[in-house]
Structure 1
Amino acid sequence: MARRPPPARKNDPEGGARESGGIPLLRRARMVALQALYEIDAAGHPPGEVLSTRFQAEPLPPEARAFVQEIVTGVLAHREEIDRLIQRYAPAWPVAQMAIIDRNILRMAIFEFVIARRTSPAVAINEAVELGKLFGSESTPRFVNGVLGSIADEMESGDGRQSGP
């Protein structure tokens, strides 16, 4: 007899309530945030206009829209601090020379678990790796996992954000 997958939990750690398409709501929100950050980074378009366009293209419930806005505005507000952390944990790759998608996936995850502390490191890393699989190159998931895992390990050992980049 075939086993059925367990029903989606309301607070699914992989990204929130699931919608009919099977993609967790917060993962969809992260996808929209990543697309917005990519456009802002690559083209320099104004964040407000980019978010407005993204929300028209990908309708989301109010709580997911708020999550997208929190990520985008948080990453932009803390970009220098986040980029210093990325540079510290990926010294062989200057942030400005990283693939745009890679650096924005890293920025989002670091914002979530280091700056805002709204998401556990394990969930933030898992979500970042999944975004890397969807949008990045073949090496993106491994690279993202390595950088974020190093940050999480240092945070766990008590050195984290307090020690400075």
Structure 2
Amino acid sequence: MIDSGVDEALEQLGRAFPPGPFLDRRLGRALAFQALYEMDMGHHPPAKVLERLAETFREPSAPYPPEVLDDATRYAQELVRGVLANRAAIDQMIQQRAPLWPLAQMSAVDRNVLRIGLYESLYGNATVPLRTAINEAVELAKLFGSETSAKFVNGVLGRAVEASASGE
């Protein structure tokens, strides 16, 4: 039995991510974000966080079929592992492209959305087009961040990708 807070969160997720193409990836990004955020704030082990969040998504009130959730969980695991494996380089890129915002002072939402966006843009799955990776990060920022998060994330990711393309 889950509490009404989880039911409400699942309902909100269903509205934010309606059924459609690439739903598994969109959900995977949301799950990865939530896991990275929780790890960042609470210093919990990645495997335990992902397992707990994946179980929450499998509740009877979850708005998605099990096969979509399985694919989303696999993609979330891939993203979390990739971000953690490349975190030092990713954080350095964030710091270089947002020098007025030290990582420790940056919103945890913005910091972790940027980590996912940079990982997917520069290190991740080659089947995800660059524009899609950036757009999906901006959408996560809109969903989980403040009024200014989406614009901030878009600007930092744009500068980082341009710098990477030019060999900086």
TM-score tier, shorter chain, comes to 0.7 to 0.9
> Are 2:31 and 1:32 equivalent residues in the alignment?
yes
| Aligned counterpart for 2:129 among listed residues 75, 97, 120 | 120
How does 1:12-161 map onto structure 2 within 5 Å?
21-22=18-19, 24-59=23-58, 60-116=68-124, 118=126, 119-156=128-165, 158-159=166-167
Question: 1:50-78, CA deviations, whole angstroms, 9 ceiling, x for partnerless residues?
Answer: 01101101135433222110101111111
Corresponding residue of 1:11: none
- What TM-score do you get using the length of structure 1 for normalisation? 0.79
Which amino acid is the alignment partner of residue 158 of structure 2? G
How far does the alpha carbon of each residue in 1:85-112 deviate from its partner, in whole angstroms, 9 at most, with x for none?
0001000100111000100000001111
**Shift in Å at residue 150 of structure 1?**
0.9
**Cα offset for 1:28?**
1.1
Displacement of 1:153 after TM fit? Answer: 2.0
Q: Name the stretch that deviates more: 21-30 or 77-86.
A: 21-30
Shift of 1:117: 5.0
Structure with more of its chain in helix, by fraction: 2
Kindly indicate whether the alpha-carbon contact (under 8 Å) linking 1:32 and 1:58 is maintained by their aligned counterparts in 2.
no
CA distance in 2, matches of 1:133, 1:103: 14
Q: One-letter code of the match for 1:95? A: L
Aligned residue in 2 for 1:14: none
How far apart in 2 are the matches of 1:55 and 1:27?
14
Q: Which stretches in structure 2 are left out of the alignment for 5+ residues?
A: 1-16, 59-67
- What is the total number of aligned residue pairs between the two structures? 140
**Higher RCO structure, 1 or 2 (CA under 8 Å, sep 6+):** 2
Query: 2:87–2:115: 8 Å Cα contact kept in structure 1?
Result: yes
